[in-house]
Structures are given as structure tokens and as C-alpha cells.
Copies of this chain bind each other. A is one copy, B any other.
Amino acid sequence: MLTRINKNNTQELAAFIAGRNQEISSDVLIQVSEIIEDVKENKDEACRRYTKQFDGVDQKTFRVTEKELDEAIQQCDPDFCKAMQKAAQNIIDFHQAQRQKGYRLQKEMGIYLGQRVLPLESVGIYVPGGRAQYPSSVLMNAIPAHVAGVKRIVMVTPPDKQGKIHPNIAYAAKIAGVSEIYKIGGAQAIAALAYGTQSIQSVDKITGPGNIYVAAAKKMVYGKVDIDMIAGPSEILVIADEEANPEYVAADLISQAEHDPMASAILVTTSQALLEKVNAALQRQSAVLPKKDIIEASLRDYGKSVVCDTIEECIDISNAVAPEHLELMNKEPEVYLDLVKNAGSVFMGYYTCESIGDYFGGTNHVLPTSGTARFSSALGVDAFIKKSSYLHYTKEAIEAYGKEIIVMAKEEQLQGHANAARIRMEDKQ
């Protein structure tokens, strides 16, 4: 049953959702910084040692060959492959619309200035291994990089006990435009991507989810390379009116709750009657699901409900929470979309369950968590480009505007700045 929150306690609810982030313990930080230093110094040898220690595999080389990739892919379920292909195409379509162009302004006296949009030269994508594997996450990270024009897209993923790559991960990499794959995981993989080894060339940015060691390593190498946002526990906020089907609402709340005991599912509704039906459906549906224990823990500790008078009031609450996922399960969701100010991704109407977006619809599933949708965005093409400005002045132009530059520089007590303009103005050549 979802814990009931009074609609006037919105700020407390927002703080509760934002406050779930896991602290990284100093034990983990120390261990990870030792691994990073070791990989910086001993490169491939250190990577091999850690892979033996943590993954139980002694590998001479990390790179997945074409042959190994093809053999892995042979083992995939053909229906899964077909679904992945369609999903990949939808994701490509959505992200292609995000491509940006540079611009140039031409002004008086031969002055021009502008901005170029350039892809990053190389990107590393971390893909977790172990029992749970997420091929959808390979698509969501690699496709935007590929669409952005990144030439070198490097995937790292831990080997299984037999030293193999998971077939589904291999297939996802193949269709998403990954250019190099290495079987290495954990903090050692992040260190190798950031600093380079004999066999793995360093990259400019690292994205992708991982466990607490991977997250700690990403934080530590940030600055040397760029990283994506470190995701906190996931959340969904469902706004539902009295016509929403309580079975759908419950199913969607559960699909969030099954990720993690710290995931949060929040129902904000105009209907007390619906809330009661949803609570009953949550119990019934979760009882038969494999991840029953996780779901029950998540709903018990982080499941919340709020009853409001109007959909506008529901949206005010959502804007304060700034949820990663927002479902608008009300009539005319399009009318209300404009009121939504803070949400990673919005799922519109009664039939758009979050899992469509998680896998298939085309929008990105890497979204800002824990209230950070107030100021940040889904992963997309923007994450894999940089913008570089340029400016051109002629002799005539610096003679015309040099005095403005000199007066501003002098007020800031930077005479050297003034001098660079003056020297060009006074030059009578």
C-alpha cells in the first residue's frame, strides 16, 4: 500500500525523493582509488590481475574479436533480435532530430563570428555484466553517440565465468554502432578508459550505468575525461484521473518498483476511489511476479500517494518532485503537457506505459533522477558533441572598436588586455 501524503506536504515529498541518493563509503573510495592508480601505472597487467580477481577469468587479451562477436550473436533469440532492430530504428529516428548545426553571423567591417558543432572524438560506454544484463541500455548510450558523429565508440563489459561476452549485449553493440569491445568491467575498466593501457586507448567521455565501484571510479576520473550524470535510484510519478484503469496504474508503479528496493513509485490522483483500487491491484499483481520481494520493499519504503482536487494541482506536485518518469494518465494529456516544467520524460495518456519508453518508443531511458530534472536532461546527442566558437576582426574593426575594449579592460585593471588592442590600433603599417 502506498503511504498517503497530504497534498500540502509537497516540499517534504520532493525532499524525500531527492534524498534517496546512496553515499559512497570511504572504504569503496579508497579501494577504487587504489585500483585507478594501479591501472595508471601497470596498465594491461593491472587490468588482467583485477579481472582474474573480480571476474574469475584469466584473459590474455581484452578485445572481443569479430569472430567471437559473431559466435555470440548466433545464440540470440531471433524474436529478441527483431524487437531490438525495431527499437534501434525508433531510437535512431528520435535522436536524429536532436542533431544541431553551427551558425555564423556576418557583421560590419569584415567582422564575423560563429559556433561550430563538433562530435567528441571518442567515447567509452560501460555495460554491466553479471546475471542482469541490459541490452536496451547499450542502445540508449551508443546510438546517440553514433548519431552525434562520434567515430570511436568503445564498449567495456565484464566477461562471464567462461570469459565470454553476453550474446544479447554483443547483439546490441553490433546494431548500435559500437566500434570496439573489451571484456573488462569494474573500476579497472573505467580507469583503462580514462588513462589508456597498451591495448585500450583512452577516450574523451565515459557513459553508462554500473555498480557502486563503477560509479565511484567515474566520479574520480571526472575532469580527466567527461562523464554522464551518476544515476540515483529510479522513480516514477503517475498522475491519474478517475477514468484511469487501476490495473494499468498499478502495473506501471510496479514496473518502477521492481528495479530496486530504493526505487520510488508515486501516485498523484484526483480520485480517492481510484487510489483504493490501485492499492488493491498492487498487492494482487506483485504477488505473482518474480521480483515480488524487491517490489514489496520498494512500495513499502518509497511508495507514496497524494489525492488532489484537480489535475493542475497534481502537476504542481509533480513539478516540485521533478520526477525521472511522469505518466499523465488523464483525459487530454496534451492540454496539460505545457504545465509540466520538470520531468525527465513524460508518458502521455492511458496506454503509454513507461516500459514502452524503456525499450522501444525511441525516447532515451537514461534520465535525470532524484529531482535533477529541474536542471538536467535525458541522455541524447547533446552529450556527445561540443561547441567551439570563433571570432574574426579586421584592422578596420579593431580601429573602430578598440577604444571600447580598452575602457572595459582598464576598469578591470587588466592593462595587458588593453595593450593587445592598442598595439593593433596604433600600428600604421
Residues of A within 8 A of B (CB): 18, 21, 77, 79-80, 82-84, 86-87, 93-94, 97-98, 100, 103, 105, 111, 113, 115-116, 118, 120-121, 131-136, 168, 204-205, 223-226, 245, 247-248, 251-252, 254-255, 257-259, 285-286, 289-291, 295, 333-334, 337, 340-349, 351-364, 372-378, 380, 382, 386-395, 397-398, 401, 403-405, 407-409, 411-421, 423-424, 427
Contact = CB atoms under 8 A, between A and B. Distances in A.
Given A346-B389, A378-B387, 11 more contacts: A77-B411, A83-B405, A133-B412, A135-B411, A258-B416, A289-B416, A333-B392, A352-B391, A354-B417, A355-B409, A360-B408
Given A113-B363, A345-B388, A417 B94 contact: no
Given A83-B408, A386-B376, A254 B420 contact: yes
A324 B381 CA distance: 23
Assembly stoichiometry (copies): 2
Counting from the closest, the 6 A-B pairs by CB-CB distance are: A83-B404, A353-B420, A226-B375, A258-B416, A355-B417, A377-B387
Contact of A388 (B334, B344, B398): B344
B421 A355 contact: yes
Given A351-B397, A377-B388, A405-B355, A412 B132 contact: yes
Nearest to A76: B411
B375 A341 contact: no
Given A254-B420, A345-B388, A374 B411 contact: no
Contacts of A403: 79, 83
Contacts of A289: 415-416, 419
Contacts of A84: 408
Contacts of A224: 18
A358 B417 contact: yes
A251 B111 CA distance: 21
Contacts of A378: 387-389
Most buried by B among A116, A223, A245, A417: A417
